[in-house]
A = this chain, B = another copy of it.
Amino acid sequence: MRTFFDCIPCFVRQSLESARLATSDEAVHERVLREALRTAAEMDLRRSPPAMGQHIHRVIRECTGQNDPYREMKDHFNQMALKLYPTLRQWFDDSDHPIETAVRLAIAGNVIDVAVKTQLTDAEVRESILGALSAPFEGDVDQFVSAVRAADKILYLADNVGEIVFDRLLIEQLQPANVTVAVRGFPVINDATLADAETAGIDQVAAIIDNGSDAPGTILDDCSPSFREHFDQADLVIAKGQGNYETLNEVDKDIFFLLTIKCPVIARHTGYPTGTMYLERSTASVVAGEEE
């Protein structure tokens, strides 16, 4: 997906918020803000929004001298999600439609995202997740289930810390297919990396790889050859969150996107309001499939 004009003020706002989350040093806030403005002024709008996020977070890491400035916050969200896990597990075990419940919970976990709305309180996160089973949902779960059952090799693209704990429930449901979970190659905002996948216990249910990139999405050209091979060989990709949607929604591949719609641009693009739990099969792949 290209970058829309409305993404630009949002980039600038997020850059400032991210800088403030990383450090209290106002000189760094100013450097990050000015660099975001300069970059956005010259940005090629045909690139996807996460390309900008990638650049800005490189600047933040450089300015702060920290490789993972949100580590503390990320640990906090992981621990909070792990505390919620037994409750979710119970809901899931009690459910008449376990796979739909698992899909909903995996999407609900996507609200743990400081990239769009910073400084969510624990209560906000819990409330949002607990409301997930009754929230507006758009998407064809039956089609998703059929595709999963027909797949041999599934590549599951994780998104954020915390959220990845909820992904585990869904990944368990995807068996007996061969499932590989991919995380970001390097820390960027609150996106999950290898350590977070292990904290979430993903290693107990699937193989884990990283994509070799520090973009808050999946910019294929920026990913490692090893990840690209996994991507190419998978017969089904499950991609979590807006960042993965924005970077992959025009790729010719059978992809199911699972996300919470968090911004007006994605709302307009999908046709559903912000807050919607959204499951979409890549139109690009459907069109390609129909042509076969």
Interface residues of A (CB under 8 A from B): 5-6, 8-10, 12-13, 16, 26, 29-30, 33-34, 37-38, 40-42, 45
Contact = CB atoms under 8 A, between A and B. Distances in A.
A69 to B, nearest CB: 18
Contact of A41 (B8, B9, B41): B41
Contacts of A40: 12, 37
A128 to B, nearest CB: 24
How many copies of the shown chain assemble into the complex?
A: 2
Contact of A9 (B16, B38, B42): B16
B5 A30 contact: yes
B16 A12 contact: no
A29 B8 contact: no
Contact of A16 (B6, B30, B45): B6
A103 to B, nearest CB: 35
A9 B5 contact: no
Nearest to A30: B5
Contacts of A41: 34, 37-38, 41
A13 B9 contact: yes
A236 to B, nearest CB: 37
A6 B45 CA distance: 24
Given A8-B12, A41-B41, 4 more contacts: A5-B33, A6-B16, A34-B42, A37-B37
27 contacts: A5-B16, A5-B26, A5-B29, A5-B30, A5-B33, A6-B16, A8-B12, A8-B16, A8-B33, A8-B37, A9-B9, A9-B10, A9-B12, A9-B13, A9-B16, A12-B12, A12-B37, A12-B40, A30-B45, A34-B41, A34-B42, A37-B37, A37-B38, A37-B40, A37-B41, A38-B38, A41-B41
Contacts of A42: 34
Nearest to A35: B41
Contacts of A9: 9-10, 12-13, 16
Nearest to A13: B9
A45 B42 CA distance: 22
A8 B38 CA distance: 13
Contacts of A29: 5
A40 B29 CA distance: 14
What are the 3 tightest A-B residue pairs by CB atom distance, in nearest-first order? Answer: A37-B41, A9-B13, A9-B12
A13 to B, nearest CB: 4
A142 B220 CA distance: 67
A10 to B, nearest CB: 8
Contacts of A34: 41-42
